[in-house]
Amino acid sequence: MLEQEKKFINQAQKGNKEAFSLLYGHYLPAIYRYIFFKVSKQEEAEDITHEVFLSAWQNMKGYKYKGLPFSSWLYQIARNAVIDFYRTSKKTVQIEMANEEFIKIPSHDPEILNAKMELEKIKRTIALLKPEYQNVLIMRLIEELPHSEIATALGKSEGAVRLIQHRALKELKSLYNETTNGKDIKEV
């Protein structure tokens, strides 16, 4: 969370471009990474990211602080923008094309998939999951967002997000095992 975030939000809601610029600079990498992971093409991810922050700026006066990071609202806008992108483009996700430099998987977190899993296999396997499962896994495991922030971004309860995460991990494990000739992965 950005230090003094609430102050910057209040100033941005009053039209202060510099305050919004600080929010933009802080959250741009994470929102771009999330979108890039969903669309897998740099130009499209850049365009959608631009739309997300433009929409956020245009709707700042309607933003209501609920005790969660500003990024919860941005992820919600980003999720909707990605849905709109696929609704209008009817293109398929090519997640295996994702550039590894935009995807961070810290090996020290006990909730992260086994470090020995190959990133390419994981990306291909995640692409096989339904979009709701993809969203939760990307936000939780790649972006390391707390369940509360994911719940806000997806418009669900924390319990529902935990259940979706559990089901998504179970399906991910099953699909991964199928694609790796039955080699088992450790529970996360």
Cα–Cα dist 69/66, whole Å? 8
- Of 48, 11, 13, 8, nearest in space to 28 by CA: 48
Cα–Cα dist 53/154, whole Å? 18
The reported pLDDT for the residue numbered 120 is 66
* Triad 134, 107, 69: Cα angle to 5°: 55
pTM: 0.65
The reported pLDDT for the residue numbered 186 is 44
The reported pLDDT for the residue numbered 184 is 47
The reported pLDDT for the residue numbered 187 is 40
- Of 63, 58, 52, 59, nearest in space to 10 by CA: 63
CATH architecture of 1-94: Orthogonal Bundle (1.10)
Encode pLDDT of 20-74 as tens digits: 999 999 999 999 999 988 887 889 999 999 999 999 999 999 898 777 788 889 9
Q: What percent of the chain has pLDDT over 90?
A: 37
Task: Determine the number of helices (DSSP H) and then strands (DSSP E) in the chain.
Answer: 8, 0
In the chain, which segments carry CATH 1.10.1740.10? Answer: 1-94
The reported pLDDT for the residue numbered 100 is 53
In the chain, which segments carry CATH 1.10.10.10? Answer: 103-188
User: What value does the CA radius of gyration of the chain take, rounded to a whole number of Å?
Assistant: 17
Fold for the domain defined by 103-188: Arc Repressor Mutant, subunit A (1.10.10)
- Mean pLDDT score of the chain, rounded to an integer? 80
Tens digit of pLDDT at every position of the chain (188 positions): 566 888 999 999 999 999 999 999 999 999 999 998 888 788 999 999 999 999 999 999 989 877 778 888 999 999 999 989 988 875 444 554 545 555 554 445 444 434 444 666 777 788 888 989 998 988 888 888 899 889 888 888 999 999 999 999 999 888 888 876 655 444 44
